[in-house]
Amino acid sequence: MLTTPGFPAGTLDDEGCPVWTTSLYGPDHLMFYLVRDLEPAAALEVLGADPARAVPCALPAEAPAELDTRSLPATVLDSEAETVLLAGRVRGWTFVMDDANTTDDLGDDPAAALSAATPGPAVSLHIDINALNRLCYAEDGEPVFETDFDNVESDVAELPADAPAVVRAAIDAAGNLDELIEDDEDDDEDYSDRRDHAFLDRLACALAGANWTYDELRAADLIAVELD
């Protein structure tokens, strides 16, 4: 049986992904960022958005059971923009969701740029329908731990002895990767892919202690910026 020590009841969806992330997106390609001790407006600016264009974005009382091709903030704003960035702060961590993967075009991993702008660390998670998911944890402007969909099993199994304690703790909090990959009684490849994807989501969130509920997310002062 899969255990996820860092995620209490009500913080994961049926596929083991953090509910606060999956409640927000419907598109195929997007980015999530988490950064410590940086205000949402400042994080948006680092990512190339103009915080002066930000508007409040109040989420509905209940997350939709399913989203179409638009993210939840794009739906709330009835936006036809190419990209919507949603930002807010929960428990000292700022998150930014880029619903079209636009900010991934900034060159080096934006997590490094975010961590350079604050004394705290930053995390990026790239979610891709083609299973090109990748994760980066950065401190002081430099990547400290990186992995992706194809290599997460070996990267976790062969974690260097000098890996930061926060990375080890996050792996433990995210759950047992062997269970995720091997707990597949029907040998269904698609099922294994979904479980692996869920582990990456949890690992990214665990690096920031972001085991938030949808209600916690909704209670934050959320702002959104449309990018054309």
Report yes or no: 25 and 97 within 8 Å, Cβ to Cβ.
yes
Q: What is the pLDDT of residue 195?
A: 53
Band of residue 178 on the pLDDT scale cut at 50, 70, 90: low
Give 36-98 as a 3 state SS string. Answer: ECCCHHHHHHHCCCCHHHCEECCCCCCCCCCCCCCCHHHHHHCCCCCEEEEEEEECCEEEEEE
Q: What is the pLDDT of residue 181?
A: 52
Q: What is the pLDDT of residue 36?
A: 97
Q: What is the pLDDT of residue 150?
A: 85
43: Cβ–Cβ under 8 A, 6 or more apart, which residues?
33, 35, 87, 94, 96, 114, 117
Greatest Cα-to-Cα distance within the chain, rounded to the nearest angstrom: 52
Lowest mean pLDDT, pick from 28-37, 80-89, 141-150, 195-204:
195-204
Report yes or no: 93 and 209 within 8 Å, Cβ to Cβ.
yes
Query: Which residues in 128-154 are b (16+ Cβ under 10 Å) and which e?
Result: beeeebbbbbbbeeebbbebbbeebbe
Query: The tokens of 8 are what?
Result: 């209490």
Residues 75-92: tens digit of each pLDDT: 999 999 999 999 999 999
Residues 11-25: tens digit of each pLDDT: 998 888 899 999 998
For residue 143, what are the CA distances in angstroms to 80, 110, 132, 192, 195? Answer: 34, 10, 18, 28, 25
Band of residue 193 on the pLDDT scale cut at 50, 70, 90: low
Phi-psi region of 187 (alpha: psi -120 to 50; beta: other; left: phi over 0): left
- The whole-number average pLDDT for the span 66-73 is 83
Considering only CA atoms, which of 88, 113, 123 is closest in space to residue 218? 88
10 Å CB burial of residue 41 (0-12, 13-18, 19+) is middle
Band of residue 182 on the pLDDT scale cut at 50, 70, 90: low
Q: What is the pLDDT of residue 124?
A: 96
Q: What is the pLDDT of residue 51?
A: 96
| pTM score, whole prediction | 0.90
Higher model confidence: residue 149 or residue 92? Answer: 92
For residue 97, what are the CA distances in angstroms to 72, 130, 169, 188? Answer: 11, 19, 24, 31
Q: Return mean pLDDT, the chain.
A: 88
Q: What is the pLDDT of residue 67?
A: 76
Percent residues over pLDDT 70 in the chain:
86
Residues 93-148: tens digit of each pLDDT: 999 999 988 887 665 679 999 999 999 999 999 987 766 789 999 999 999 999 99
Sheet holding 223-227, edge to edge: 55-56, 223-227, 83-90, 93-98, 29-36, 122-128, 134-139, 142-148
